[in-house]
Amino acid sequence: MQSERLKRLPPYLFAEIDAKKRAMREKGVDIIDLSIGDPDIPTPKHVIEAFCEGAHDARNHRYPPYNGTQEFREAAVSYLKETKGVDLDPNSEALTLIGSKEGIAHAPLAFLDPGDVVLIPSPGYPVYTTASLLSGCVPYEMPLKKENGFLPDLGSIPKDVLKKAKLIFLNYPNNPTAAVATKDFFKDAVDFAKGNGLVLCHDAAYIDIVYDGYKAPSILEVPGAKDVAVEFYSLSKTYNMTGWRLGFAAGNKGLIESLGKLKTNIDSSATAAVQHGGAVAMTSSQDCVVNACKTYKNRRDVLVEALNKKGWNVVKPKATFYVWVEIPTKEDSRSFASKILEKTGVVVTPGLGFGSAGEGFIRFSVSYPTERIEEAVHRISSL
Ligand SMILES: *Cc1c(COP(=O)(O)O)cnc(C)c1O
């Protein structure tokens, strides 16, 4: 049995590639899967030690506070103050999440009503669309075009769509395009949200995965952003903690309160010992983050330089651990990814999987061991 709600979700597009991958693996082909963004670098030792210490503390064996532990929310706020100069109240403007995906997935349900339109970047993280559909909302795709630096053209959204729109999702540094946004763009986005009565949800999952001296801004650095915006933070990518499930939401008090109210009725916050580890991660030395970025940067360079040697014309991204590559032939993204897999055993993600405007591109993730990326590059070079 399946609800109509679930039936409304878009079809899974990668069955064919999955089947091919499985068949090749069974034949003994050494598959190099670069299709998922999930750090291969272990969680830093001092963070694991803090988890363990938290696990031994009997106070953490009982329910955590619904909105997250005081220690974690204070650490989140002090991290934002330290790294972005943003001032927030840990009690009313920050909320622990069981990974940022959880908060993003609950946002439409907490803020909107059925029939409300949600402005969604395409290509984009698929959860924006699925969460909107599950809440009975209507997604409207804002294409992220190469000629606009993969930023949405807010001025081109039709008036009749804007009339019904209640929420806009943004995500910079961006998955899958690896594009970054300036603070000026964020200022325009905040003005746009204010002018059109929109809630602005900014997904900041890759805010700390940056290269070449680039520093990614928080949307909360824009004066007045707190009037309309909530920002979703993930510890997954910053501290190699995808398996521990921890993130937080920060920003507008009313939005934090609504999201908290919804969550009170669904979950009971992230594991307290994990929140202790997360608090330690955010308040101790950030050298581990700097080192992880160095590793990703080297892999990025190996990959981009090799693809350019083939004449593929790829730019080195300033952030995220993705490389977004325009398909050099006329093939569509699924056929092209399939061809790469068949000929080289390397798995990449077809852009179409991130929305219709992702067609024409494929995504590589460099969250895999350097020698595997070197081997993948070697095989693709002779494609
Ligand atoms: C990985 C990712 C997330 C989810 O992160 P979790 O905190 O692990 O749930 C959210 N948004 C984007 C764009 C991501 O790539």
DSSP per residue over 46-92, as a string? Answer: HHHHHHHHHHH-GGGGSPPPTT--HHHHHHHHHHHHHHH-----TTT
- Whether residue 34 has its Cβ less than 6 Å from ligand 1: no
The CA distance from 205 to 314, in Å, is 23
Q: In this structure, what CATH number is given to the domain that contains residue 253? A: 3.40.640.10
Query: Where residue 306 sits, what CATH number does that domain have?
Result: 3.90.1150.10
Q: Is the CB of 247 under 6 A from ligand 1?
A: yes
Judgement on whether residues 260 and 121 belong to the same structural domain of the protein: yes
Domain stop point among 250, 283, 316: 283
Q: Which two tokens stand for residue 53?
A: 């210490």
Tell me: do 214 and 95 sit in the same domain: yes
- Domain containing 32 equals 4-42+287-381
Quick one: 110 and 224 in the same domain? yes
Ligand 1 centroid to Cα of residue 234, in Å, is: 6
Most ligand 1 atoms within 8 A of CB, residue of 237, 238, 240 to mutate: 237
CA of 206 to the centre of ligand 1 (A): 8
Please enumerate in sequence order all residues whose Cβ is within 8 A of that of 221, keeping only pairs 6 or more positions apart, or say none: 84, 85, 86, 183, 186
Asked if residue 234 has its Cβ within 6 Å of ligand 1, the reply is yes
Q: Are residues 67 and 126 in the same domain?
A: yes
Long-range (24+ apart) CB contacts under 8 A made by 258-267 are 258/110, 258/111, 259/95, 259/103, 259/106, 259/107, 259/110, 259/111, 259/230, 260/66, 260/67, 260/95, 261/110, 262/106, 262/109, 262/110, 263/66, 263/95, 263/106, 264/66, 266/106, 267/98, 267/102
Please classify residue 56 by burial: count the beta carbons closer than 10 Å to its beta carbon, then call 0-12 exposed, 13-18 middle and 19+ buried: exposed
Q: Which atom of ligand 1 is nearest to the CA of 124?
A: 13
Q: Please indicate, yes or no, whether residues 106 and 151 belong to a single structural domain of this protein.
A: yes
Domain boundary among 283, 307, 323: 283
Domain count along the chain: 2
Q: Are strands 165-171 and 199-203 parallel, antiparallel or unpaired?
A: parallel
Domain match, 217 and 316 both: no
Residue identifier of the C-alpha nearest atom 12 of ligand 1: 205
**Residue 383: per-residue pLDDT:** 83
Tell me what pLDDT residue 303 has: 96
CA–CA gap between residue 220 and residue 362 (Å, rounded): 31
| Position in ligand 1 atom list of the atom nearest CA 236 | 8
Q: Is residue 269 located within the same domain as residue 292? A: no
How far CA 131 is from CA of 6, 219, 293, in Å, comes to: 10, 22, 30
Q: Are residues 235 and 297 in the same domain?
A: no
Q: Is there an atom of ligand 1 within 6 Å of 101 CB? A: yes
Do residues 220 and 297 share a domain?
no
Residues of the chain with pLDDT under 50: none
Q: Around Cβ 203, how many Cβ atoms within 10 Å?
A: 28
Q: Which residues, including other chains, have CB under 8 Å from residue 130's CB and lie 6 or more apart?
A: 9, 10, 105
Instruction: Choose one of 283, 307, 334: the last residue of a domain.
Output: 283
The residue to mutate among 35, 36, 125, 363, having the most atoms of ligand 1 within 8 angstroms of its beta carbon, is: 125
Please give the Cα distance from 150 to 162 (Å, whole number).
21
Which atom of ligand 1 is least distant from the CA of 100? Answer: 7
Taking residue 17's Cβ as centre, other Cβ atoms within 10 Å add up to 20
One domain for residues 152 and 223: yes
Are residues 240 and 330 part of one domain? no
* Protein residue with its CA nearest to atom 11 in ligand 1: 205
pTM metric for this prediction: 0.97
Residues 38 and 54 in one domain: no
Q: Is the CB of 269 under 6 A from ligand 1?
A: no
